[in-house]
Amino acid sequence: MISSFKRLWRDRRGNALAIAGAALPLVLGSAGLASDTIQWTLWKRQLQRTADSAAMAGVYAIASEKAVGNCSNIAAATYADPVAYDIKKNLKVLITPTCTVTNPPSVGGYTADEHAVRVSLSVQKRLAFSGMFMSDAPVINAISTATIVPSGKYCVVSLEDQSYTGIDASGATGLNLGCGMITNSTSMSAAVATGSATVTASPIAAVGGIPASNNWGSGTILQPFTVQQEDPFANVPVPTPSSCNPFSTYDVGGNNKPNRPVVDLSAQTGTICIKEGGSGVLSIQGDVILGAATYILDSTSLTMGSNDASLKCNGCTIILTTSGTDMSKIGNVSITGGELDLIAPSTGCTLGTAGCYDGIMIYQDRRADDLNNVKINGNSASKLEGAFYFPKANMTFTGTSGQDTNCMQIVSKRVTFNGNSGISNVCPTGSKAKSFVGKKVRLVE
């Protein structure tokens, strides 16, 4: 028997099988651990993606002036708890996680940010191989913080907040902006460039979608599904018209006609109320110079259609409103020809206080009829420095090559561009006609 074992020990046949058998537990163990590592990494990524999405959902809720809610009952969550509902819809690990939502976060670099939302998720899930040897399943954690950050500078703001196109560049327009455009439209075609239009602007943002197009210029950054832009002039009060007179009261020579001497009101200051009781229209037919004052048009529209006419002022604001109860009487603007040379005031007052209209060239009462039509089309000699504010209007801006619109802003319900419009948005020192800072939701931690 002993001799038989000695012969077997010295026999080299079958060594490979013996070695393979001895190494088999190590091979199986390595494969099992590799499989567990991949599975754990997948669960971690899925949980992190859920936390990221939930944090952003919380910030979007804040931006929409809604409650963030909590995540104490994910399984039964509804839209009333946006964070928990987002987790419910996006959870892939098949185990309801432990969840904590804080706004603002109690730790990290955004504890003083009222828009910041921090979501912390954790699950304990057994792994297939290592679970056979571990008494407790490993805990997987995912933490994410999102908030609102600046997204760019805009000189065109469309306040349209329904499912209609808010910004439309069509026809043969060549629009060159030194700034961005944003619309609150929820349409999937919130901002469009069609036909042979060429639009160079960046960024272009929308609450809804922005269709891809070859009409967007090279380098244009598109930011669809962004945060709604606030009305930058929402707190600017509308004055109450009083002591109103027809324009002829100031045009004592009756010169507001073609080929007549200039109507020079450059010495006018303070507040001047104009009401054309008959026609309801102040038509600029000759050359008119306004002083640095606030001009209130009571139930009166402003028009200029002759290529020989001009309207100029340095430091004035024109306000369209009504002293009556019929809001349909609020005037609109139709500038289809002539030279328009307007520079908004820059007195240093604080917007939102009575009588302060710094940075605003023309202001239409926000109680005006919805989608009243406004047209602005100056000639190549026109100069525009300041903001057009038409919160209820469909404004059409037809640029002309040679216009000086280096510091112009548009805030309107809807905006349509025609012609060759160049707005570089490089404002002179001291000008109050600044661009508007946009915002977007972003993961920050």
Query: Six-digit token pair at 214?
Result: 């070859």
Higher pLDDT, 64 or 272: 272
Dump pLDDT digits (tens) for 331-342.
999 999 899 999
Dump pLDDT digits (tens) for 258-297.
999 999 999 999 999 999 988 899 999 999 999 999 999 9
Q: From 343, 311, 340, 156, select the one nearest 247 (Cα to Cα).
A: 311
Place of tokens 């802003």: 409
pTM, to two decimals: 0.80
- In this model, does residue 38 exceed pLDDT 70? yes
Collapse the DSSP code of 180 into the 3-class scheme (helix H, G, I; strand E, B; otherwise coil) and give the result.
strand
Amino acid found at 282:
L
202 phi, psi to nearest 5 deg: -160, 130
CA distance 205 to 438: 9
Query: Six-digit token pair at 442?
Result: 């972003």
Mean pLDDT within 48-52: 92
393: β partners: 372
CB 393 within 8 A of CB 364: yes
Mean pLDDT within 173-189: 88
pLDDT band at 35 (very low <50, low <70, confident <90, very high): confident
Dump pLDDT digits (tens) for 289-326.
999 999 999 999 999 999 899 999 999 999 999 999 99
Dump pLDDT digits (tens) for 368-402.
999 999 999 877 778 889 999 999 999 998 876 56
Q: From 312, 253, 245, 303, select the one nearest 272 (Cα to Cα).
A: 245
- In this model, does residue 27 exceed pLDDT 60? no
CA distance 429 to 358: 14
pLDDT of residue 282: 96
Q: Kindly tell me the sign of the dihedral angle through the C-alpha atoms of 240, 243, 248, 249.
A: negative
pLDDT of residue 20: 58
pLDDT band at 23 (very low <50, low <70, confident <90, very high): low
pLDDT of residue 288: 96
Dump pLDDT digits (tens) for 209-257.
999 888 888 888 899 998 899 999 999 999 999 999 999 999 988 999 9
